[in-house]
Amino acid sequence: MQHLGFSHTTLKIGSFDFTCCEGCQLQLANHESSLPAFLELLDIRNFREISSERHDDYDIALIEGSITRQDEAERLETIRKNAKVLVAYGSCACFGGVNSLKNNFPLDQTVREVYGDKSVDTLPVRKISDVVKEDYSIPGCPVSKEEVERIIVSIATGSIISLPKYPVCVECKQRLNTCLFDLGEICLGPITRAGCDAVCTSGKTPCLGCRGPADDINFPSFMQLVSDLKLSRDELDEKLGFYNCFEEFRHDKS
């Protein structure tokens, strides 16, 4: 990885939210044992969950949420110009997230159903990379606090940055969990990127794929598994589309 040339010891950082629940920012702001040491590395220039200060100079911009209005797109473009490094974090920023379900319906119909006759400024949902160039992305709903901290430290030190390439199934087996397919559930663990420590499946909740596709997944084999077990294709399609992470695969499920 190319060193980014941060000359000062304290990294200037800004975190910005767009259309989202701010759950990823709250993950970082949680008062856990690692927070004080992590904040010692940072000069918080803009982070609503942590500080009331607002500044426009920052080395790293963390972006949470998807883009659903024109003013959001313009604000994001300004942030991109000010930042040396832009990191999309969370499923909404990386893939569009749950917000993308709106794109399944005509825009005027969605506005009418939710807001009635009120005029609303809204656009189809876009992920961050649809609007500006992102340097890194950290998936998850919400993100892993430990993973974000590790990647920010790696950016600051010029270290190699990587996400797990293998699927959630690996972490699930390491935790000796019963496979949810054996319990008659559709689980996206075989095709979803690991890094969550199989938190959902360990609680007997099927994976919904919030971290997006793992590298080199065998999607036809996954589809065959669902077919062999005679599980619902409609339910599968709903899960594949929940976070908008698997669009490249959803249109070819034969």
pLDDT at 251: 63
State how far the Cα of 183 lies from the Cα of 179, in Å rounded to an integer. Answer: 7
pLDDT at 37: 72
Q: Which residue type, as a one-letter code, is found at position 60?
A: I
pLDDT at 9: 60
pLDDT at 3: 45
State how far the Cα of 100 lies from the Cα of 121, in Å rounded to an integer. Answer: 16
pLDDT at 2: 42
| Average pLDDT per 10 consecutive residues for the chain, totaling 254 residues | 52 93 88 69 84 86 97 98 96 97 92 90 96 97 92 86 95 96 97 97 97 96 96 95 91 55
pLDDT at 31: 57
CA nearest to 59, candidates 86, 36, 39: 86
Q: Which tokens belong to 94? A: 């990386």
Alpha helices in 18-160 (DSSP H): 23-29, 35-40, 70-82, 91-95, 107-115, 145-157
| Digit-coded pLDDT (tens) for 42-97 | 888 988 888 788 888 899 999 999 999 999 999 999 999 999 999 999 999 999 99
Taken in order of first residue, the domains within the chain and their CATH numbers are 11-157 (3.40.50.700), 168-250 (no CATH)
Number of H helices, E strands in the chain: 11, 5
**SS3 state of residue 88:** strand
pLDDT at 172: 96
